[in-house]
Chains A and B, each alone.
Chain A
């Protein structure tokens, strides 16, 4: 957090008494302060670069405190605010300490010099005789008085122009710089007291969400900004407080509450045009090679072609780097507010605050001077993220609604739209002579550019979506080794997808090629790869680093891969790589240099690669905060191991399809290697940027180690198990048996089938209407009767079918899907015109028992009067009383129009004659009272069979042995209850009870789909009723197993399912691991609410995949209550292909012994394309 300053602007501050400031004068503008000392004893440093979560704030604080001889706690830093901090360009290329801290340090030294000078004249001694201790100046001798900085500044206004030659403190005298220092921000961050940009709250602030176009991750092409066809405002008409903002392809919603903004963004119906997709992006090699490019020759010395032709050993390879994500843990967020005069303030986590300001000026037609960017810290982004995009989103929405707006991007928006780290293609042709000398190196690198314009500028058509090409691919393009003849070419090209700087930009891929290739040359020369590097590098500092690193790691020289087997399937290997990160345009400026020794283990069967240990040494010159640099090295190691082993952005032909952490997995704690970070002591050399260097050697070190383990060189990343298996098998000359193809199965026939033309005789005459009544009001019923009716209604879940979405309870209109068409439920509120307000009790009873409406029309048995007929008079009367005492809601429901023969309502009379017995439930005297109560509830008001029994071709529930053997409702399988249950564990009475009472049973999982509402309603019933239902249901198919034996069996199945989750060597397994395992792997032992064990769930044991697919797509939401936890919807995260992989994996691993589901992709397509009801 930036400290507060005692003025509204720098101009005001520099005119205020009690201030000493060192500034850089600016023509036509207020001078830029670098260091400000205040009469309250505080010192404030100002820097144009920001802290991206790496601890730069602490290091800069150390530098200022050191030069000023102040305690750390007296110094604070203002970073990045456009109003206050100097414009020092983008925070990039690890330049903060190496470059932007130079004037800061100088300013601090100069302030100290002025203060000591003034003290000298006051105390009457020479400046040389004085020393400073935490801002107190006194003679070294200890006598003669003293004064403090604050006293010297009091009442004065001292503004010094920065003197770039002012002498600095001798590093030998440092007491703060070079010492490990605790991070100044961490106490606040670990106690919730730190203000991230996400935590900004303003008075009257509203919450905004954006709805992005379908071309997620693209920012060039004619369709950009021109794809919106229409927005259907009626889709959010039920949310009257939500404001909608549409500007071409920019669509946003604003609401007072965050959950309302989210709900509106989900509900809003937006129709986008189709557009011509770019080439298939699934293979970066083709996409990048096909992308038009301009060759830029960076180096051409000697005669490369001749040297190649005469090389004794020559190899030509292509190295492939995939698109990566920054993968910030916090999706971008920003707050924007306009004041009355039209000036805009944006609270942002940007690292390019001046570019953001200028882009906002273009977007909004506001002068840059009227825009202030307040910079706050955010989640780490490791390069330019979508922060500027979301700042613009917030500004557009704030302008539209005339209030401050906070916009938070969703995870899928962050994943899809963050400007990616670009893919890269490196071609190497090189060789050695017969003596092992490096004679030729012909290197060509192809890098699609990364300028990523602010998204809102494109979406609102303020700028044209023309892909620009930038010269960014040349970082570390030249190898560090002394090839006698060398050609280095960078093929500059426009972006293929939206991209921006990501840690080690273009240097990591280029070094991957150089450092892999040198290993190969070393082996050909018969020299140890460490020794070969040292022998062929002319920079002595680099040679020193290479040797030191190998020594620290206990490197054992080798001239061939060791292929050490440590288990029947597992090989171990060790690899080396070195790089000096070069930032800025070619040939670049050297930042810190780093070298890796890495140990890997390769499972040759599964293809999994584990990085077990990394020893890194880094030469960063003078180190400001050793602990900070060590942490930064470790951070680089973990992140780059993740990138090399696991990461690649997936695309379909239109857009990014990696939209969550399961489709873009990153390294997790269990896989984190042991890291040893060593700092080469160089206290007398200038400090070098340490932010990214340790990432650069990562990829080559790892592939070199995999080579040592297996004898196979990998030149394309990431090293997924699939790629490694294929590589190992290709080496063995056989086709990969793991190549997976979805078997083409027979199309799944919908169980509900089509309409079978059935002729049956129409016998019954049309029924008479029962005269309407003028209802006298609910006062005629006793409250006891109404309460009893409420429970009957709950047992029957009337509201579940008689309510449509968010409309009023029991007002009808909910569509029940049947093979004959949709049946719309009726309004059962006491509205006279559209509900049952004119219904007498006899009319109501006739409907409930015979399925005949008051007006004489036959009702369809989707209304389960076949069950309700069993209810007692007392219950029906109470139900009538309850329904008639609800608020009347005027709501006309859609007319039900079914296919023949069901469209002929009188035919239902014949149906009733065949399938309906209107008889009240008769208790079985041989059974207990509890059993009879349970049977009455299950078979009567509860009408369980309406969903859980199959229906015949005419829609009648099966009876006899097929009663309660499973049905289909709203496309969900209602599983069989009892002997035919798909559950692998018999349902016990206790399990039924838990399930009906709480919505979840430890042995069977949780409710989803239509059953959620049933359990909700049942919560009104007394425990005795639920126990009775459980007793009755369990009695229908006694398992013969004790509760304890059932629990043991369940535990065994759960363990078995858990064991099937490894190895994580395919897409489905990865998605499960990233998205499902947290709640379903049964290994998250500290989790509130426990885990839902899939091996016990009917959903995965069912004959059809429908319930699983629906659960994943819809999630499990229980808006009325939350007791059962919740499962998020993954509809926006998973493509059809990803979902099919996941569903197939779950069935294969969690449904022990069950056959694979047939045509999962077909079921997914069918369910995804269902028309909304």
Chain B
């Protein structure tokens, strides 16, 4: 089979892009190279570590193994689409408040996994959070702050209050 080439419509962070990419190209490469997004990171190419995570239709997806061809019509959200420096998403705000990362390479996937979790369970238990992050690897050992930050984000989101410093 010859992979289809030609304009492909990809909706990322609310904007639809016409992209001249091969349908077999990996979503990660398209996001990083064609759309110049830094949020998703290459970590393993094996869906093992979670650094490349994006949200597709509100669910977490490993962009390092997903070809773009099948994603037309999906809503893709990257870390950049969640919130901004000026107006961070409550989960991002909680991570800033708790300094909940060390090197920051894995944090993209952790924040997006937490966001998807809080959509499913607005008030998660400690165990819910740990299980939801089971497939996100962090080597620096920021686990404690991450758990604290996600609990803070859950409180802020359920009470509709900003993350408290």
Interface residues as binary, A51-70 with B (CB distance below 8 Å gives 1, 0 otherwise): 01111000000000000000
The 17 sampled A-B contact pairs (Cβ below 8 Å) are: A55-B99, A187-B96, A190-B101, A192-B39, A194-B38, A257-B33, A259-B29, A330-B43, A378-B103, A379-B139, A410-B45, A634-B142, A672-B130, A1086-B120, A1088-B56, A1120-B69, A1133-B46
B68 close to A1122 (CB less than 8 A): yes
Chain A positions 449-498 with a Cβ under 8 Å from a chain B Cβ: none
Interface residues as binary, A319-353 with B (CB distance below 8 Å gives 1, 0 otherwise): 00000000111110100000000000000000000
Specify which of A183, A196, A1120 is in contact with B3 (CB 8 Å cutoff).
A1120
Residues of B contacting A22 in the complex (Cβ-Cβ under 8 angstroms)? none
A1130 close to B46 (CB less than 8 A): yes
Known: A190-B104, A329-B106, A1088-B61. A1078 touches B99 (CB 8 A): no
B107 close to A190 (CB less than 8 A): yes
Q: Does B49 contact A (CB under 8 A)?
A: yes
B117 close to A190 (CB less than 8 A): no
Q: A52-B103, A382-B139, A411-B48 are in contact. List 4 more A-B contacts (CB 8 A).
A: A259-B25, A330-B41, A1016-B1, A1123-B70
Residues of A contacting B111 in the complex (Cβ-Cβ under 8 angstroms)? 190
Residues of B contacting A54 in the complex (Cβ-Cβ under 8 angstroms)? 102-103, 140
Chain B positions 31-53 with a Cβ under 8 Å from a chain A Cβ: 32-33, 36-39, 41-49, 51
Nearest B-chain residue to A415, judged by Cβ: B44
Interface residues as binary, B91-113 with A (CB distance below 8 Å gives 1, 0 otherwise): 01001110111111111100101
A187 close to B88 (CB less than 8 A): yes
Residues of A contacting B25 in the complex (Cβ-Cβ under 8 angstroms)? 257, 259
Complex Cα distance, B44 from A672, in Å, reads 22
Going nearest first, the 4 A-B pairs with the smallest beta carbon separation are A53-B103, A1122-B70, A638-B141, A189-B104
Complex Cα distance, B93 from A191, in Å, reads 9
Known: A55-B99, A185-B104, A1128-B47. A635 touches B57 (CB 8 A): no
Q: Does B26 contact A (CB under 8 A)?
A: yes
Specify which of A186, A382, A1075 is in contact with B101 (CB 8 Å cutoff).
A186
Residues of A contacting B108 in the complex (Cβ-Cβ under 8 angstroms)? 192
Interface residues as binary, B144-162 with A (CB distance below 8 Å gives 1, 0 otherwise): 1111000000000000000
Complex Cα distance, B146 from A675, in Å, reads 13
Specify which of B29, B43, B100, B117 is in contact with A411 (CB 8 Å cutoff).
B43
Nearest B-chain residue to A184, judged by Cβ: B99
Of the stretches A85-93, A659-667, A936-944, A1094-1102, the one at the interface is A659-667
Complex Cα distance, B91 from A381, in Å, reads 26
Residues of B contacting A198 in the complex (Cβ-Cβ under 8 angstroms)? 41-42
Residues of B contacting A668 in the complex (Cβ-Cβ under 8 angstroms)? 133-135, 137
A411 close to B142 (CB less than 8 A): no
A1120 close to B134 (CB less than 8 A): no
Residues of A contacting B80 in the complex (Cβ-Cβ under 8 angstroms)? 191-193
Residues of A contacting B12 in the complex (Cβ-Cβ under 8 angstroms)? none
Complex Cα distance, B95 from A821, in Å, reads 61
Q: Does A1117 contact B (CB under 8 A)?
A: yes
Minimal beta-carbon separation of A822 from chain B (angstroms):
20
A196 close to B105 (CB less than 8 A): yes
Q: Does A1083 contact B (CB under 8 A)?
A: yes
Complex Cα distance, B32 from A408, in Å, reads 13
Minimal beta-carbon separation of B39 from chain A (angstroms):
3
Q: Does A416 contact B (CB under 8 A)?
A: no
Q: Does A1079 contact B (CB under 8 A)?
A: yes
Interface residues as binary, A96-139 with B (CB distance below 8 Å gives 1, 0 otherwise): 00000000000000000000000000000000000000000000
Known: A411-B44, A669-B133, A1075-B46. A329 touches B139 (CB 8 A): yes
Q: Does B16 contact A (CB under 8 A)?
A: no
Complex Cα distance, B80 from A189, in Å, reads 10
Residues of B contacting A183 in the complex (Cβ-Cβ under 8 angstroms)? 99
Of the stretches A390-398, A748-756, A801-809, the one at the interface is A801-809
A196 close to B38 (CB less than 8 A): yes
Interface residues as binary, A24-67 with B (CB distance below 8 Å gives 1, 0 otherwise): 00000000000000000000000000001111000000000000
Q: Does B85 contact A (CB under 8 A)?
A: yes
Q: Does B9 contact A (CB under 8 A)?
A: no
- Tell me the A residues contacting B by CB distance below 8 Å: 52-55, 182-183, 185-196, 198-199, 201, 207, 257-259, 327-331, 333, 377-380, 382, 408, 410-411, 627-628, 631-632, 634-639, 660-662, 666, 668-670, 672, 675, 799-800, 803, 806, 808-809, 1013, 1016, 1074-1075, 1077-1079, 1083-1089, 1117-1128, 1130, 1133
Known: A666-B137, A672-B130, A1086-B113. A380 touches B103 (CB 8 A): yes
Residues of A contacting B38 in the complex (Cβ-Cβ under 8 angstroms)? 192-196, 199
Minimal beta-carbon separation of A1043 from chain B (angstroms):
25
B139 close to A380 (CB less than 8 A): yes
Minimal beta-carbon separation of A303 from chain B (angstroms):
45
Nearest B-chain residue to A1013, judged by Cβ: B1
A1119 close to B42 (CB less than 8 A): no
Specify which of A192, A196, A1013, A1086 is in contact with B37 (CB 8 Å cutoff).
A192
Complex Cα distance, B133 from A672, in Å, reads 11
B67 close to A182 (CB less than 8 A): no
Residues of A contacting B136 in the complex (Cβ-Cβ under 8 angstroms)? 669
B144 close to A331 (CB less than 8 A): no
Complex Cα distance, B124 from A669, in Å, reads 15
Interface residues as binary, B64-87 with A (CB distance below 8 Å gives 1, 0 otherwise): 011111110000001110111100
Task: Pick the most buried of B42, B56, B141: most chain A CB atoms within 10 A of its CB.
Answer: B141
Specify which of A631, A639, A1075, A1130 is in contact with B99 (CB 8 Å cutoff).
A631
Minimal beta-carbon separation of B63 from chain A (angstroms):
10
Minimal beta-carbon separation of A720 from chain B (angstroms):
19
Task: Pick the most buried of B51, B67, B85, B100: most chain A CB atoms within 10 A of its CB.
Answer: B67
Q: How large is the interface on B (under 10, 10 to 19, 20 to 34, 35 or more residues)?
A: 35 or more
Residues of B contacting A1013 in the complex (Cβ-Cβ under 8 angstroms)? 1
Residues of B contacting A195 in the complex (Cβ-Cβ under 8 angstroms)? 38
Complex Cα distance, B49 from A1130, in Å, reads 15
B85 close to A1126 (CB less than 8 A): no
Minimal beta-carbon separation of A1142 from chain B (angstroms):
14
Known: A186-B96, A631-B145, A1125-B66. A331 touches B104 (CB 8 A): no
Specify which of A329, A379, A1084 is in contact with B134 (CB 8 Å cutoff).
A1084
A411 close to B45 (CB less than 8 A): yes
Complex Cα distance, B45 from A1075, in Å, reads 11
Residues of B contacting A1079 in the complex (Cβ-Cβ under 8 angstroms)? 47
A192 close to B105 (CB less than 8 A): no
Minimal beta-carbon separation of A591 from chain B (angstroms):
18
B23 close to A1086 (CB less than 8 A): no
B60 close to A1088 (CB less than 8 A): yes
Complex Cα distance, B104 from A509, in Å, reads 28
B134 close to A669 (CB less than 8 A): yes
Minimal beta-carbon separation of A626 from chain B (angstroms):
11
Residues of A contacting B2 in the complex (Cβ-Cβ under 8 angstroms)? 803, 806, 808-809, 1120
Nearest B-chain residue to A628, judged by Cβ: B99
A329 close to B138 (CB less than 8 A): yes
Minimal beta-carbon separation of B83 from chain A (angstroms):
6
Specify which of B26, B49, B59, B66 is in contact with A329 (CB 8 Å cutoff).
B49
Minimal beta-carbon separation of A41 from chain B (angstroms):
21
Interface residues as binary, B123-134 with A (CB distance below 8 Å gives 1, 0 otherwise): 000000111111
A55 close to B102 (CB less than 8 A): yes
A378 close to B120 (CB less than 8 A): no
Known: A331-B43, A634-B142. A258 touches B29 (CB 8 A): yes
Q: Does B4 contact A (CB under 8 A)?
A: yes
Complex Cα distance, B97 from A411, in Å, reads 32
Residues of A contacting B62 in the complex (Cβ-Cβ under 8 angstroms)? 1078
B95 close to A190 (CB less than 8 A): yes
Residues of A contacting B139 in the complex (Cβ-Cβ under 8 angstroms)? 327-329, 379-380, 382, 639, 666
B85 close to A191 (CB less than 8 A): yes
B56 close to A1122 (CB less than 8 A): no
B46 close to A660 (CB less than 8 A): yes
Nearest B-chain residue to A54, judged by Cβ: B102
Specify which of A192, A257, A808 is in contact with B29 (CB 8 Å cutoff).
A257
B1 close to A809 (CB less than 8 A): yes
